[in-house]
Amino acid sequence: EMYAEPSTSFGDIARYFAQEGILVYEKELRRGFISQMLRNPIYAQADLELYEFFKGQGAVVVNEAADFAGTNGCYLYQGRDVQERKNKELKNQILVLAPSEGIVPADTWLRCRKKLMA
- Count the Cβ atoms, other than its own, within 10 Å of residue 41: 25
Question: Where is average pLDDT lowest: 3-7, 98-102, 103-107?
Answer: 3-7
pTM across the whole model? 0.80
Q: Could you read off the pLDDT of 31-45 as tens digits, one per residue?
A: 888 888 888 899 999
In this prediction, residue 72 carries a pLDDT of 97
In a domain, 79, yes or no: yes
In a domain, 14, yes or no: no
In a domain, 28, yes or no: no
Q: Which pLDDT band holds residue 16 (cuts at 50, 70, 90)? A: very high
Question: How many domains does the chain fold into?
Answer: 1
Domain assignment of residue 110, given as a range:
40-117
- Which distant-in-sequence residues (6+ apart) come within 8 Å of 81 by Cβ? none
In this prediction, residue 81 carries a pLDDT of 58
Answer positive or negative: Cα dihedral of 42, 43, 46, 49.
negative
In a domain, 98, yes or no: yes
The type of residue at 62 is V
Q: Could you read off the pLDDT of 58-98 as tens digits, one per residue?
A: 999 999 999 999 999 999 997 665 554 545 678 889 999 99
In a domain, 2, yes or no: no
